[in-house]
Amino acid sequence: MADTQTLRFTVEEGVGWIVLNRPEARNAMNAEMREAYLAALARCAEDPEIRAVVLTGAGKAFCTGADLSGSRAASGQPAPAHPGAVRDAMRPSQRVIRTLWELEKPTLAAVGGVAAGLGAHLAYACDLVLAADDARFIEVFVRRGIALDAGGAFLLARHVGLHKAKELVFFGDDLPAADAARLGLVNQVVPAADLERTARDWARRLAQGPTFALGLSKRLLNRAPASDLDTCFAEEAFTQALVANSEDMREGIRSFLEKRPPAFKGR
């Protein structure tokens, strides 16, 4: 897949790098970027040689959300009144989050600068989040008179609990990286100069792991908050039956018995 004007996509050492590339607009996501992003994720899902994914932004921001410059509200036009229009308006941002959340490979967000609205939710939908010490996360919707969208209720309630999620959404205050880490929204905060190097180190470890098993573990973890114990145990048992026939499990056991590092292949 070739680069576009709004997104760069490369594959290095088994890692798919998705770089949002509208620095002049602080990587606000317009329709062109959205379609390029979805195409990149589709390639990551289909290509067995891609075993981990990094999502990051070019320039001084990660992503400041959806590009509102061409919206009806920006031009003073009233929104369509029919119910289908609401579904159509919400579907693009929901696809952006759902596709990332459901990708059966480990994902890592490397966040520098501002991650606002949809941009913050892109980070929260990844499996792991690295943040530069200058990063800020903002539930910006209240500042624009917009109700929470782009999967925010789903993601925030899971990550920080209901009362804290409401505080973040109702006030829309900047959340510095260190505070986001204390809330569990960020795994690690690093100096801005070290963000890319650390992301490469983490992504390399993910890509060298048993990514078939990691994808199944991701599915179990993502579903667990909405499941009861019996359902979780049943899905665990089914998952273990799948993993038992994998090359990676056989390699993991052989390497343990032979006292050597495993060489996983992601299958």
Q: Which domains are seen in the chain, by residue range?
A: 7-207 (3.90.226.10), 211-257 (1.10.12)
Position 201 scores a pLDDT of 97
pLDDT in tens, 41-53: 999 999 999 999 9
Which residues fall within 8 angstroms of residue 266, CB to CB, at 6 or more apart?
A: 48, 51, 210, 211, 212, 248
83-102 and 118-125 are packed helices; what angle lies between their axes, rounded to 10 degrees? 40
The answer to whether residues 264 and 210 touch, using CB atoms and an 8 Å cutoff, is yes
pLDDT at 74: 46
Query: Which residues lie closer than 8 Å to 109 by C-beta, 6 or more apart?
Result: 54, 55, 56, 62, 122, 123, 126, 128, 129, 130
AA identity, residue 223: R
Distance CA 16, CA 52 (A): 6
Residues of the chain with pLDDT under 70: 1-3, 70-90
Tokens 């994998």 identify what position? 246
**Nearest Cα to 95, choosing from 46, 31, 141?**
31
Distances (CA, A) of 187 to 52, 54, 110, 124, 215: 17, 14, 11, 11, 19
The per-residue pLDDT for range 76-108, each reduced to its tens digit, is 555 555 565 455 555 888 999 999 999 999 999
- 62 exposed, middle or buried (CB, 10 Å; 0-12, 13-18, 19+)? buried
- Nearby residues of 38 by Cβ (< 8 Å), 6 or more positions away: 95, 96, 99
Instruction: Tokens for 257, please give them.
Output: 């018995």
Q: What is the pTM of this model?
A: 0.88
Q: Which amino acid is at 246?
A: S
Q: What is the distance between the alpha carbons of residues 206 and 200, in angstroms, rounded to a whole number?
A: 10
